[in-house]
């Protein structure tokens, strides 16, 4: 299985999340059944661009620029 990021190199690293329209234009996007982008740093423009693709996706609870800068999200989850 090829990751979406590997298939669509235009997306860039997590610090480049505002470039999500590059993801929406990726030709491999149409092969996905569902895309979970919850707790990322998508902008409203990025979410709108993905909606126009008509793929099924979730983009709830987006992180703000401040939250991304603090990197608190790196400590989410179970560390056992």
**Nearest-angstrom CA–CA distance, 78 and 43:** 27
Residue 80: the pLDDT is 65
Largest Cα–Cα distance in the chain?
A: 40
pTM of the model: 0.61
How many beta carbons lie within 10 A of that of residue 46, not counting itself? 22
For the purposes of burial, counting CB atoms within 10 Å of the CB of 36, is it exposed (0-12), middle (13-18) or buried (19 or more)?
exposed
Rg (CA), the chain: 13
Closest listed residue to residue 40, CA positions, set 14, 9, 13: 14
Query: What pLDDT digit, counting tens, does each position of 3-46 carry?
Result: 455 445 444 444 444 455 577 888 888 888 999 999 888 888 88
């Amino acid at each position: 299985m090829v990751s979406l990021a590997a298939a669509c190199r235009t997306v860039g690293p997590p610090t480049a999340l505002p470039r999500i329209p590059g993801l929406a234009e990726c030709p491999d996007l149409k092969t996905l059944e569902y895309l979970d982008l919850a707790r990322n740093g998508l902008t409203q423009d990025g979410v709108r661009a993905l909606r126009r693709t008509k793929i099924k996706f979730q983009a709830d609870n987006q992180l703000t620029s401040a939250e991304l800068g603090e990197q608190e999200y790196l400590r989410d989850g179970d560390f056992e």
